[in-house]
């Protein structure tokens, strides 16, 4: 994956333009005919189709109306909104600190989200992390990204965010890889505290935690973690960037993937037994 957000945005604009060209051609219209029907100059149609200029929402609405492609409009709108925000490079965004890295993990998003679906194969998600675990994680990220240290502000924000997510009115479904239980961030004592905290979270009525055993037969493939916020967006994180998915058909695929992962996981007492086994070895 490229680490240049500008090139990522440019390619996304080209892809969107290519889809709009296909819609126009499917309708049997030339660029000039579409321009006349939508009140635009032909050169603007050409720039949009070639990725040189992003379409406005009105452009997309008019385009789909004239071309008889109303069914394509929701996905096109979601794609256009995501073009410039789909890829955020951590190092650039962290220059002002790490408190506001990514709108999907903001307090506002947590407030508006009713259901969180979370898959993490090798780390524990922030919602269940102890402060010690968070401090260990943050220390590495500050060094890796060469970011200014705003640890206390980040911890305060995360505590507020977690309190919002764990409100009884919300629903949280988590699927962990067993490796997430074994991966130790800090001393054995800190790790034991973290796992005991995880056990307490599994007992909350609004939270479901599943663990995929290391020796389970696997079918679904999910090499990195992802978070689904209701049915509006998916957040993924690589070592260098955050990726935001908002296209409806992609979100639906992640939802289907999450459902498969849930079937491979053990839940309830069986999940707590796996956690207890790790604790016994510390």
**Domains recognised in the chain with CATH numbers:** 5-82 (1.10.260.40), 87-281 (3.30.870)
Question: What is the structure's pLDDT at 8?
Answer: 52
pLDDT score of 53 more than 60: yes
| Band (2; pLDDT cuts 50, 70, 90) | very low
Tens-place pLDDT, residues 227-266? 999 999 999 988 888 888 887 888 999 999 999 999 999 9
Residue of 142, 73, 43, 64 whose CA lies nearest to 101: 142
**Could you tell me which residue, 282 or 88, shows the higher pLDDT?**
282
pLDDT at 1: 35
Residue 98 pLDDT: 79
With a cut of 60, say whether residue 4 has pLDDT above it: no
Contact (Cβ atoms closer than 8 angstroms) between residue 19 and residue 76: yes
* 3 compared with 180, residue with greater pLDDT: 180
CA distance 199 to 135: 20
Determine the Cα–Cα distance for residues 50 and 179; give it in Å rounded to an integer: 45
pLDDT for the residue 86: 67
Q: Which residues make beta-bridge pairs with 211?
A: 176, 266
What's the whole-number average pLDDT of the chain? Answer: 90
Q: How do residues 164-175 score in pLDDT, each as one tens digit?
A: 999 999 999 999
Report the run of H or E that residue 141 belongs to, with start and end.
helix 131-145
Mean pLDDT in residue range 92-98 = 76
DSSP designation for 217: P
46-71 mean pLDDT: 93
Cβ proximity of 155 and 207 under 8 Å? no
For residue 196, count other CB atoms closer than 10 A to its CB. 13
pLDDT of residue 87: 66
Give me the residues paired with residue 243 across strands. Answer: 87, 236
Residue 72 has pLDDT above 70, yes or no: yes
The whole-angstrom separation of Cα 282 and Cα 279 is: 5
Instruction: State residue 250's pLDDT score.
Output: 86
**Whole-angstrom Cα distance, residue 169 to residue 114?**
8
Looking at the chain, the whole-number percentage of residues with pLDDT higher than 70 is 93
Least confident interval from 46-60, 75-89, 133-147, 197-211: 75-89
Give the model's confidence band at 80: pLDDT under 50 very low, under 70 low, under 90 confident, else very high: confident
pLDDT over threshold 90, residue 101: no
Q: How many Cα atoms are found within 13 Å in the side-chain-facing hemisphere of 133?
A: 23
For the cut 60, the answer to whether the pLDDT of residue 129 exceeds it is yes
């Amino acid at each position: 994956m490229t680490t240049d957000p500008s090139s990522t945005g440019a390619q996304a604009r080209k892809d969107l333009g290519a889809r709009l060209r296909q819609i126009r051609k499917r309708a049997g219209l030339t660029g000039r005919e579409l321009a006349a029907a939508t009140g635009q100059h032909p050169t603007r149609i050409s720039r949009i189709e070639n990725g040189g200029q992003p379409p406005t929402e009105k452009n997309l609405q008019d385009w789909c109306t004239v071309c008889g492609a109303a069914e394509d409009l929701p996905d096109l709108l979601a794609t256009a909104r995501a073009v410039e925000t789909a890829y955020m490079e951590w190092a650039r965004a962290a220059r002002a600190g790490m408190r506001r890295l990514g709108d999907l993990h903001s307090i506002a998003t947590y407030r508006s989200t009713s259901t969180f679906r979370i898959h993490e194969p090798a780390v524990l998600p922030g919602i269940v992390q102890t402060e010690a675990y968070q401090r260990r994680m943050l220390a590495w990220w500050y060094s890796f990204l060469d970011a200014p240290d705003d640890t206390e502000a980040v911890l305060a924000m995360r505590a507020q965010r977690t309190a919002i997510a764990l409100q009884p009115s919300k629903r949280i479904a988590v699927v962990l890889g067993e490796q997430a239980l074994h991966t130790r961030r800090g001393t054995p004592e800190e790790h034991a505290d973290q796992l005991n905290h995880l056990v307490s979270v599994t007992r909350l009525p609004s939270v479901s935690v599943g663990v995929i055993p290391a020796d389970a037969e696997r079918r679904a493939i999910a090499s990195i973690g992802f978070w689904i916020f209701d049915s509006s967006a998916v957040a993924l994180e690589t070592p260098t960037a955050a990726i935001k998915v908002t296209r409806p058909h992609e979100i639906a695929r992640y939802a289907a993937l999450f459902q498969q992962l849930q079937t491979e996981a053990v839940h309830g007492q069986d999940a707590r037994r796996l956690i207890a086994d790790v604790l016994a070895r510390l």
